[in-house]
Amino acid sequence: MDRLNDKRIVAGVTVVAVMVGAAAMFFLNKRNRTSLTSRSTLQPAYEQAIAQIKQKFEVPTDYIQRIKEGMESEFKLGLSKPTGEKPSSIKMLPSFIDRIPTGHETGISYALDIGGSNLRTMKLELDGHGKVKTILIRKSSISHELQTGDADALFDFIAASIGDVVDETAESNNFGFTFSFPVDQTDVSSGKLIKWTKGFQTKNVEGQDVVELLNNALERSGIRAKVTVLINDTVGTLISSAYDPSDGETVAGVILGTGTNASYIESKANIEKLETGEKEGVMVINTEWGNFDSPAYSVLEPTEFDLTIDKNSPNFSCQHFEKMVSGMYLGEIVRLALVDFAEAGFFSHRNSSYILTPYRFGTEFMSEIERDDTMQLIHVDAFLKRIDINNTSYQERKLLKELCHAVALRSARLVSGAIAAIVDRMGKKDTKSVVAIDGALFEHYPGYAGHIEQGLKEIGYNNVVLKLIKEGSGYGAAIAANVMSSTE
Ligand code: ADP
Ligand code: MG
């Protein structure tokens, strides 16, 4: 805790220094607004503030290295038999997926994907050359009534949407089910819901096997289909990428969206905690890396804004890595910093609801802001007007853009350390390997992928290919159902 207190003191001193420097600038800035066409020069107080932002969110190469080493030792601990001593912050859940597709698999396969309130069912065809063709896709949303009602009603609804896509005359209708809620899995086709998240409260589901509930509902409705594989979105992303080996061998599946998580391929011999005697071959491990360095921070270096987010969150002292990395939080970090800058006189829009309301400033706003390369940041100006922040000065816009850049850059560099940990764990540092990534943060944030690559290079990882995977959570489930049901 001493380190944290020190940090807080340093942060406090910084804020005071910034405030003193800023008081005069505030009035100057108000009187002296640059027009959108005039030449852009940065006032010294803003230059100083931007330098402090950069410093606060900086991730030097040795910090990336420490993330890599810290993650690796937690991976090891998470795979070992629990000793009753300090448990790993990373769960390392066995997925029971122990066959990796080659791209040669063929046939019709089905997927059910429940990521939140949206549900998708798909009929897909694997072409045997690494490509998946969508034959049918149905999307529906799970109503508030179903989210708060009884299990049977919810699972009957899901069964009906499966009924919409299956071929009743086919010999077997095997479904892969991607269920993005925390489940306790004991084999590939069953898993108990630990706890509902994302607003769901459907009764009599927690503690139950969701696959069994669904297969029972299918039977009740006389629908000839069966869920044979249960996975999460990271595993789906990995499997989906592995099916198309044209870019190289896939070693991991990463999610960088609302949250962050990763899965990778581990040798069974290394999964000490696995109770089965089998030690040959491999198995996909769902790391749950978002919880890295929790409950206490010992590797991550949180700012005062990160500590505020953690303190005010419903899951205090959990998911520390996720809270510094993923889409749900980056915008909130920027908002908290803006509140501080407003108090110090650097940002004169403190009454905007986007600045006042927690989580109202989304990570997608940061993307918009960073995309502007004009001299006077005119697109930032136009964008801010759309969210009711009018009459910003160039100084304010530049400060905001640099803040967004620093927060996103930190996120990507932390991720580079985590990816290196997986690559190293698999002994693939010197071989070309594909890391499959899904999620809006990775897909849409300008420069984000490049920042991860740069971080990897700095610590000597030059052979990692970052590959964007879309639809991985659906396709991956269907491919996994095909691979796991084959009798070879
Ligand atoms: P999920 O992770 O829930 O499956 P997504 O992959 O779509 O869904 O990620 C949604 C998250 O990504 C949101 O938290 C949002 O803030 C962030 N996000 C959405 N659009 C963008 C964007 N254009 N740039 C950066 N982040 C974005
Ligand atoms: Mg997703």
Which mutation among 197, 235, 255, 258 tests ligand 1's pocket best, with the greatest number of atoms within 8 A of CB? 258
Interval 190-206: pLDDT, tens: 999 988 887 789 999 99
Residue of minimum CA distance from atom 22 in ligand 1? 364
Q: Which residues touch 367 (CB under 8 Å, ≥6 apart)? A: 444, 445, 446
Which structure tokens are listed for 101?
């597709």
**What is the 3 state secondary structure string of the chain?**
CHHHHHHHHHHHHHHHHHHHHHHHHHHHHHHCCCCCCCCCCCCHHHHHHHHHHHHHCCCCHHHHHHHHHHHHHHHHHHHCCCCCCCCCCCCCEECCCCCCCCCCCEEEEEEEEECCCEEEEEEEEEECCCCEEEEEEEEEECCHHHHHCEHHHHHHHHHHHHHCCCCCCCCCCEEEEEECCCEEEEECCEEEECCCCCCCCCECCCCCEHHHHHHHHHHHCCCCCEEEEEECHHHHHHHHHHCCHHHCEEEEEEEECCCEEEEEEEEHHHCCCCCCCCCCCEEEEECCHHHCCCCCCCCCCCCHHHHHHHHHCCCCCCCHHHHHHCHHHHHHHHHHHHHHHHHCCCCCCCCCHHHHCCCCCCHHHHHHHHCCCCCCCHHHHHHHHHCCCCCCCHHHHHHHHHHHHHHHHHHHHHHHHHHHHHHHHCCCCCCCEEEEEECHHHHHCCCHHHHHHHHHHHCCCCCEEEEECCCHHHHHHHHHHHHHHCCC
Which structure tokens are listed for 169?
């005359």
Number of other residues whose CB lies within 10 A of the CB of residue 253: 33
CA distance 50 to 22: 12
CA distance 289 to 261: 5
Interval 157-177: pLDDT, tens: 999 999 999 987 777 788 999
Question: In the structure, what pLDDT confidence band is assigned to residue 28 with cuts at 50, 70 and 90?
Answer: very low
Which mutation among 117, 364, 409, 470 tests ligand 1's pocket best, with the greatest number of atoms within 8 A of CB? 364
How many angstroms separate the alpha carbon of residue 441 from the centre of ligand 1?
Answer: 5
Which structure tokens are listed for 69?
């080493």
Amino acid (1-letter code) at residue 359: Y
**What per-residue confidence (pLDDT) applies to 265?**
98
| pTM more than 0.85 | yes
How many angstroms separate the alpha carbon of residue 364 from the centre of ligand 1?
Answer: 7
Going 80 to 82 to 87 to 92, the CA torsion angle's sign is positive
Name the residue with higher pLDDT: 479 or 30: 479
Question: In the structure, what pLDDT confidence band is assigned to residue 26 with cuts at 50, 70 and 90?
Answer: very low
pLDDT for 423 beyond 60? yes
Counting atoms of ligand 1 from 1, which one is nearest the CA of 259?
A: 2
Closest C-alpha among 470, 433, 456, 473 to residue 251? 433
Name the residue with higher pLDDT: 5 or 259: 259
Interval 55-70: pLDDT, tens: 999 999 999 999 999 9
Asked if 423 and 464 count as a contact pair (C-beta separation under 8 A), the reply is yes
How many angstroms separate the alpha carbon of residue 23 from the centre of ligand 1?
Answer: 37
How many angstroms separate the alpha carbon of residue 93 from the centre of ligand 1?
Answer: 25
Percentage of the chain lying above the pLDDT 90 cut: 80
Task: Give the chain's mean pLDDT.
Answer: 91
Question: In the structure, what pLDDT confidence band is assigned to residue 10 with cuts at 50, 70 and 90?
Answer: very low
Task: Calculate the CA 182 to chain-centre distance.
Answer: 15
**What per-residue confidence (pLDDT) applies to 431?**
96
How many angstroms separate the alpha carbon of residue 445 from the centre of ligand 1?
Answer: 9
| Pocket (CB within 6 angstroms of ligand 1) | 115, 257-258, 327-328, 362-364, 367, 439-441, 444-445
pLDDT for 4 beyond 50? no
How many angstroms separate the alpha carbon of residue 331 from the centre of ligand 1?
Answer: 11
pLDDT for 341 beyond 90? yes
Counting atoms of ligand 1 from 1, which one is nearest the CA of 328?
A: 14
pLDDT for 180 beyond 90? no
Asked if 415 and 445 count as a contact pair (C-beta separation under 8 A), the reply is no
pLDDT for 343 beyond 70? yes
Name the residue with higher pLDDT: 278 or 468: 468
pLDDT for 217 beyond 50? yes
CA distance 119 to 340: 40
Question: In the structure, what pLDDT confidence band is assigned to residue 369 with cuts at 50, 70 and 90?
Answer: very high
CA distance 201 to 203: 6
Region 203-227 average pLDDT: 95
Going 28 to 32 to 36 to 38, the CA torsion angle's sign is negative
Closest C-alpha among 465, 346, 364, 470 to residue 408? 364
Interval 453-473: pLDDT, tens: 999 999 999 999 999 999 898
Region 134-146 average pLDDT: 94
Closest C-alpha among 402, 408, 421 to residue 450? 408
Closest C-alpha among 232, 241, 129 to residue 465? 241
**What per-residue confidence (pLDDT) applies to 488?**
57
Q: CA-CA distances (angstroms) from residue 406 to 146, 399, 411, 448?
A: 41, 11, 9, 11
Residues belonging to the chain = 488
Which single residue is written with the structure tokens 């010197």? 430
**Measured distance between the N- and C-terminal CA atoms of the chain, rounded to whole angstroms:** 55
**What per-residue confidence (pLDDT) applies to 396?**
96
**What per-residue confidence (pLDDT) applies to 172?**
74
CA distance 390 to 370: 18
Q: Which of 193-202, 221-230, 422-431, 459-468 has the lowest mean pLDDT?
A: 193-202
**What per-residue confidence (pLDDT) applies to 3?**
47
Asked if 270 and 285 count as a contact pair (C-beta separation under 8 A), the reply is no
Q: CA-CA distances (angstroms) from residue 176 to 116, 171, 197, 208, 219?
A: 17, 16, 21, 18, 17
Name the residue with higher pLDDT: 82 or 487: 82
Closest C-alpha among 81, 84, 123, 127 to residue 104? 127
Name the residue with higher pLDDT: 415 or 117: 415
pLDDT for 285 beyond 70? yes
CA distance 377 to 372: 6
Counting atoms of ligand 1 from 1, which one is nearest the CA of 448?
A: 25
